[in-house]
Structure 1
Amino acid sequence: MNRILRVKEISELLGLSKSTIWRMRRDGLFPAPLKIGPRAVGWRESDVTDWIKSRDRLQ
């Protein structure tokens, strides 16, 4: 099963602020979240993992 990560978890995982994650999302540098409720979004864990792997390949 693919877990859904909230922005706080992603922030802790990546060591980036929540505002930086949202800025990267706005600029197309981070995967789009899924709407999981009227006022809630989250990311598939696999999307975040794939994004991390793609960043590792660039460096």
Structure 2
Amino acid sequence: MAFQKKNKLGFTSSQPFDKDPVCFKVLPGVKGKLKNIPNWQERLRQAVDKLIEEQCD
């Protein structure tokens, strides 16, 4: 089955992401707790942006 152009069922974003993810290790149990937080990925992206802004000032 070929991919349909302008497919609205898959992941969509108004902001394109870098094709290479940032990965880091966490303490045991943190990954499971993190996945239970609603909208954790977007919230983590915002926290990283804030951290970068604080370090660049």
TM-score, structure 1 as length reference: 0.35
TM-score, structure 2 as length reference: 0.36
RCO comparison, higher one (Cα < 8 Å, 6+): 1
Higher helix share: 1
